[in-house]
A and B are shown apart, each in its own frame.
Chain A
Amino acid sequence: MNIAVLIKQVPDTETKIKIKPDQSGIEEGDIKFIVNPYDEFAIEEAIKTKEKIPGATTFVVSIGPERAGEAIRTALAMGIDKGIHIVNNEPALDSYLTAKVLHGVLKERNISVIFSGKQAIDFDHGQLTQMLADMLDWPCVMITESFQLKEDKSGAKLVRRLGGGAKEIYEIAFPFLVGCEKGLNTPRYASLPGIMKAKTKPVEKLLVSNYLEGQSAFVSYKNYELPPERMAGKKLEGEPQIQAQSLVKLLREESKVI
């Protein structure tokens, strides 16, 4: 049984974003890149699932420039068996093209389940997993906060988190895709032996350009800009009672939000 994980390398959450002068994107110069936090839950769930299925193989797939290889090594150090690095030297891929490339690479690999993060925290599109699901004609459960393999290992029971405490509970047979949410599990750290082992695990290198089939992006993103700076407003002085009274008055009369 083959278990795949889709991961992306993204800027660390601490990153202060700077925009290129021509507004075509962000300055990558001094950014520290990490594995997309939601993808860590996907990696962990793939490893846990493999541990319950004798003979199963896990592999991690990432599209990106050379540096994305680091993210793949991180996943291998955590315990994933193999890597596929689809090197991208092309202009920006939109979600559709990304899904198309992944579909081309994955469709013939006899996969039972694909785990991904629910979204990547760089562009926050949240599109890829469902798009790939539609191309594969597989079901997909996004925002998954619980994944329980069925006893006969023919599928799983999943809980999808909606807003306001509401949930949907699914029972699906393989194959399908899972978009992982924080809370699904606690991702393990890479152990030192794990890091050493990762260096010798196989990573297959492919090229994005071989899978585009002449298709160009459906959406081009331009005019990157920073949000308008918020100015510090009024500090309300006085005794707590007075502070509370002035705040209520200001929210009612000045900003009119209450």
Chain B
Amino acid sequence: MYNILVLAEHVEGKIKKTTLELVGKASLLAKELGGSINVCLIGSKTESEVHALAAYGAQKVFLVNQDQLEKYNTIAYTQVLAQVVSESKPTILLATASPMGKDLFPRLAARLKAGLVTDCIELKINQGKLIAKKPVYSGKAFATGHFNTPIQMATTRPNSFPMIVADPNAKAEISSVTFDPGTLCAEIKEVVQGLVGKTDLTEAEIIVSGGRAMGKSENFQVLQALADVIGATVGASRAAVDSGYAPHDMQVGQTGKVVNPKLYIACGISGAIQHLAGMRTSKVIVAINKDPEAPIFSKADYGIVGDLFTIVPLLTEEFRKLLSES
């Protein structure tokens, strides 16, 4: 019997869309394996979210509901998951390549002596074992990981798999787990919240990015206005970050974030190899640049040769009209 265990993530009491995407993908893999799909949900007051996981295929939810676990803690969460693993005996363990998944899974993998492939964009089953494809050299190439361990672990890049059709009537069994946290040596003293409702670049479905041509940080307002209308997150090229127009948190590319949105709008970005590496898996790329020879145009699905400060406000207006009609 092959079980798949997925680590769920929630924000403000709701299961994240990236988790539902992954549970959906896991349920397809479980069908292929002839196994069942379990989900581990850690935090406090999360019970009401079990139905959402069930709708995407979770058959059993390991619920770890404890006040001490409300805030993420690497060591405590590693212990909790190791305990859930010993109960649910999964052969495959999956998490989103989020800040939490990226932090926790390597530690857990060392604990379980399990192979781990991070930031995967494709998962397959071959002869009862997981095969996981990941970008390397920041997306300039791909490599496929084959496992030599009984437990196989992977973190997956958001927006890599299509959402499956949810079944609102599906039910999942609940298994409550109690956990003794003991003393935690690296306790988080404080959590600084990000802007409410702001999606991180790595999870964003639409990104509007600005390059050196932005000229100064105030000018990012032009991109933010467009982003607000179409529900996008604003990014920046390394040139814009190094010039001090945008914080590093916003950098897309080889020494910044590798992104995977369905739409990427590059404004005043020439398209250096490091930048292209970070956004090349975007489903649709739009380039707006004054320079008709900019390399970005050779990768863009739609190109507009023009001044971003003219084009972007016009786009914002056109989108506003379109979206208010529908």
Contacts and interface: CB of A to CB of B under 8 A. Distances in A.
Interface of A: 11, 13-17, 19, 26, 37-38, 94-96, 99, 121-135, 139-143, 145, 157, 161-173, 176, 181-183, 216-227, 230, 232-236, 240-241, 243-245, 247-248, 250-252, 255, 257-258
Given A122-B137, A164-B195, A240-B310, A131 B322 contact: no
B301 interface: yes
A168 B145 contact: no
A133 B185 CA distance: 13
B110 A131 contact: yes
B142 A251 contact: no
B209 interface: no
Given A19-B141, A143-B99, A172-B185, A166 B194 contact: yes
26 contacts: A95-B116, A121-B254, A124-B136, A126-B106, A127-B116, A130-B106, A163-B99, A164-B198, A169-B191, A171-B187, A173-B185, A183-B248, A218-B113, A218-B115, A218-B148, A219-B115, A220-B148, A221-B136, A223-B142, A227-B281, A230-B285, A232-B297, A234-B303, A241-B314, A247-B315, A258-B319
Contact of B117 (A157, A168, A219): A219
Main secondary structure of the interface of A (DSSP, over half): mixed
Given A163-B194, A222-B143, A182 B248 contact: yes
Contacts of A140: 74, 107, 186
Contacts of A11: 137
Contacts, number: 266
Interface stretch (B52-60, B62-70, B160-168, B255-263): B255-263
Nearest to A145: B248
B162 to A, nearest CB: 13
B304 interface: yes
Interface of B: 72, 74-75, 78, 98-99, 102-107, 109-111, 113-119, 133-149, 185-195, 198-203, 206, 230, 233, 247-249, 251, 254-256, 258, 262-263, 273-274, 280-281, 283-286, 297-307, 310-311, 314-315, 317-319, 322-323
9 nearest CB pairs, A to B: A163-B200, A139-B186, A218-B115, A165-B194, A166-B194, A164-B194, A244-B314, A233-B301, A127-B106
B103 A142 contact: yes
Contact of A134 (B111, B185, B193, B285): B111
Contacts of A226: 140-142
Given A168-B188, A257-B263, A220 B146 contact: yes
Contact of A255 (B119, B133, B301, B305): B301
Nearest to A172: B186
Contacts of A235: 297, 303-305
A145 B251 CA distance: 14
A236 B193 CA distance: 41
Contact of A230 (B199, B249, B299): B299
Contacts of B230: 258
Contacts of A166: 191-194
Contact of B262 (A123, A236, A257): A257
Contacts of B111: 134
Given A13-B274, A165-B249, A167-B191, 14 more contacts: A11-B137, A15-B140, A19-B141, A26-B137, A95-B116, A96-B110, A124-B138, A131-B109, A218-B147, A218-B148, A222-B146, A227-B281, A243-B311, A255-B284
